[in-house]
Amino acid sequence: MWIIGWPFLIYYHFVFRHIVGFDLHEKAEVGIPFSPWHCFGIAINPQVKIGKYVKMAHNTTLGQNNGKSPIIEDYVILGPSVSVIGDVTIGKESVIGIGSVVTKSIPCCSVAVGNPAKIIRKI
């Protein structure tokens, strides 16, 4: 089975990672449907867990810190240039504003912005 998928993996690495700049590691757990807007500059760590109906804009990074990776729950929207780093959970139906750096967990139904991200409103 691995041999059958090898050509696709080479194509994926070449086209998406090097030309488009969309780096979704093949080991990341991603819910369906996943909706990246303007794929340029998106980087997703292999241990990240992404729920269903997540929307993510360009220049977004979901990264690892001290061996821990983020969990993005269902129906979350991540604006452009958002960084979510480390052992962080973003709750269901939350919105993270443009340019935010999330280093602490965000509860469900929240709007968070800033560096570091702070909750400004409950939905």
Residue 91: what pLDDT? 96
pLDDT band at 41 (very low <50, low <70, confident <90, very high): confident
**Of residues 72, 59, 85, 61, the one with CA closest to residue 31:** 72
Residue 89: what pLDDT? 96
Q: For residues 21 and 1, what is the distance between their CA atoms, to the nearest angstrom? A: 27
Residue 25 reports pLDDT greater than 80: no
E-state strands within 65-122: 71-72, 77-78, 83-85, 89-90, 95-96, 101-102, 110-113, 118-122
Tell me which DSSP letter residue 97 carries: -
**Of residues 54, 49, 43, 45, the one with CA closest to residue 92:** 54
Domains of the chain: 24-122 (2.160.10.10)
- Token pair belonging to 43: 């980087």
Rounded to 5 degrees, φ, ψ at 112 are -130, 140
Q: Calculate mean pLDDT across residues 73-86.
A: 95
- What is the per-residue pLDDT across 50-59, written as a single tens digit (0 to 9) for each? 999 999 988 8
Residue 1 reports pLDDT greater than 60: no
Angle at 61 between CA 58 and CA 63, to 5 degrees: 165
Is residue 54 within 8 A of residue 72, CB to CB? The reply is: yes
Q: Calculate mean pLDDT across residues 104-109.
A: 96
Is residue 74 within 8 A of residue 30, CB to CB? The reply is: no
Q: Calculate mean pLDDT across residues 22-40.
A: 79
Residue 31 reports pLDDT greater than 90: no
pLDDT band at 106 (very low <50, low <70, confident <90, very high): very high
Residue 2 reports pLDDT greater than 60: no
